[in-house]
Structure 1
Amino acid sequence: MGHHLELVQHVNAPAEAVWRVLTDIPGSARTLSSISRVEILTPGDYAEGYRWRETRKMMGKEATEEMWVADMDAPTSTTVKAKSNGAAYTTRFTLAPAGDGTRLSMFFGAEMESPGAFAKVMLALFGKLAMGITRKQMARDLEEIAAKAEGRDQAAA
């Protein structure tokens, strides 16, 4: 049982510029306004197995999640995963040429790993609300990634 969403953002920059922004995990708190801090757990460059802790403010509260790169094919796609409170999260970014820019697609999925009856009821009641809030946040993230790749960084403003 789970939920997912997909979003697309046109970026007026080449895929390589978008890729640099997407994979700059140490700098992500300067790019994305909802991220307050990042702790790198795996030294080195962005690659499969790279891990970090990301603290975000959502719905007025801060939450820290450990995330890792599950798959990547630079500069066209990457998949990031996380697990928290009995849920498994998958975020996949795909970059494709689009005219003079890049089509940046994002898939986000949340799956309950072993939901009990209560969790199933709560997911049915509040899952769509939570995904609506998540959709707004992810759309803002994509806009801020585009702004950074295009050289018009808004997060620090």
Structure 2
Amino acid sequence: MSIRFEVKRTIQETQPIAYKGLLDLDSAKHWMQGLVGIERLDVGPIRLGSQWKETRKMFGKEATEHFEVVELTEPD
């Protein structure tokens, strides 16, 4: 089952820097609340088709979700 979702946050940063930061899964521990760990299911830079499993602690319980990049548009 696939679920499409969108997350919006306001930050004081340029689009190119924010875009680069979101693609750096290793840095997610610095900004993602409740992150337990990320397991990449491929290698190399994040690109169309990249996949990973993300485990987060929510409401006192851990939950793991599978993610796949199905659309990726670099800002101008």
TM-score by length of 2: 0.79
Q: Give the distance between the partners of 1:5 and 1:69, measured in 2 at CA.
A: 12
1:94-114 deviations in Å (ceiling 9; x for gaps): xxxxxxxxxxxxxxxxxxxxx
> Which one has more relative contact order, counting CA pairs under 8 Å at least 6 apart?
1
1:66 maps to a residue whose letter is H
Tell me which residue corresponds to 2:69.
Answer: 69
Q: Which has the higher helix share?
A: 1
Question: Which runs of 5 or more residues in structure 1 are unaligned?
Answer: 77-157
* Higher radius of gyration, 1 or 2: 1
- Aligned-partner SS, 1:37: strand
1:54 equivalent to 2:45? Answer no
Q: Give the distance between the partners of 2:48 and 2:6, measured in 1 at CA.
A: 23
Q: Give the distance between the partners of 1:21 and 1:54, measured in 2 at CA.
A: 17
Return the offset for 1:7: 5.8
The verdict on how the C-alpha distance between 1:19 and 1:7 changes in structure 2, with shifts beyond 3 A counting, is closer
- Aligned-partner SS, 1:49: coil
Q: Which has the higher strand share?
A: 1
Question: Which runs of 5 or more residues in structure 2 are unaligned?
Answer: none
Q: Give the distance between the partners of 2:16 and 2:43, measured in 1 at CA.
A: 22
Q: Give the distance between the partners of 1:7 and 1:34, measured in 2 at CA.
A: 16
1:65 maps to a residue whose letter is E
Give the number of aligned pairs: 73
- Aligned-partner SS, 1:21: helix
Asked whether the equivalents of residues 29 and 38 of structure 1 are also in contact (C-alpha less than 8 Å), the reply is: no
The verdict on how the C-alpha distance between 1:7 and 1:26 changes in structure 2, with shifts beyond 3 A counting, is closer
2:40 maps to a residue whose letter is I
Tell me which residue corresponds to 2:44.
Answer: 44
Q: Give the distance between the partners of 1:5 and 1:41, measured in 2 at CA.
A: 21
Q: Give the distance between the partners of 1:75 and 1:34, measured in 2 at CA.
A: 28
Q: Give the distance between the partners of 1:41 and 1:54, measured in 2 at CA.
A: 11
1:31 equivalent to 2:1? Answer no
Q: Give the distance between the partners of 1:45 and 1:65, measured in 2 at CA.
A: 20
